[in-house]
């Protein structure tokens, strides 16, 4: 009995520690947590070809530093392909951060997904230049435009 109570309490604590965006879901948004705390929130489910490891993903994206006090948890924006041109990468080959390699699999063309990527699946202790400090959790809004 005591172990069940402890397990239930730990589950509640884990859920309450998630960003508010990952705790809620509506019929139009489906949230899931996968490997190592990576969070996926499907904002719009696509109807085209499904993206698998080994495919080339063609996307538009915008990235922010996670900030629990900022509107929609989006702190400073550090990068975006919108207005600059699409971004293409081979999925599952380590050419992008682990959070992207794992977080985009299963998207369908036309879909939009938000990824909340823990530091360990992004740039970790090293950060990335002046824009992404060490140990930063990142948020990405991704739109899958094509699968090759």
Active-site residues, by number, are 61, 78-79, 97, 123, 140
Q: How far is Cα 83 from Cα 89, in angstroms, rounded to an integer?
A: 18
Q: How far is Cα 55 from Cα 89, in angstroms, rounded to an integer?
A: 8
Q: How far is Cα 61 from Cα 80, in angstroms, rounded to an integer?
A: 6
Strand, coil or helix: 45: coil
Q: Dihedral (C-alpha) 115, 60, 145, 23: value to the nearest 10 degrees? A: 20
Helix ranges (DSSP H) in 1-148:
2-17, 20-23, 98-103
Q: How far is Cα 116 from Cα 28, in angstroms, rounded to an integer?
A: 18
């Amino acid at each position: 009995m005591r172990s069940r109570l402890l397990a239930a309490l730990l589950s509640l604590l884990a859920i309450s520690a998630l960003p508010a965006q990952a705790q809620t879901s509506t019929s139009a948004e489906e949230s899931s947590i996968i490997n190592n705390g990576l969070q996926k929130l499907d904002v719009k489910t696509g109807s085209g070809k499904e993206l698998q490891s080994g495919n080339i993903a063609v996307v538009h994206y915008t990235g922010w530093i996670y900030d629990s006090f900022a509107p929609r948890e989006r702190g400073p924006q550090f990068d975006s392909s919108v207005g600059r041109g699409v971004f293409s990468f081979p999925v599952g080959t380590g050419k992008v951060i682990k959070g992207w390699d794992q977080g985009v699999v299963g998207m369908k063309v036309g879909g939009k997904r938000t990824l909340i990527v823990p530091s360990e699946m992004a740039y970790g202790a090293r950060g990335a230049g002046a824009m992404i400090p060490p140990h930063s959790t990142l948020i990405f809004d991704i739109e899958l435009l094509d699968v090759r």
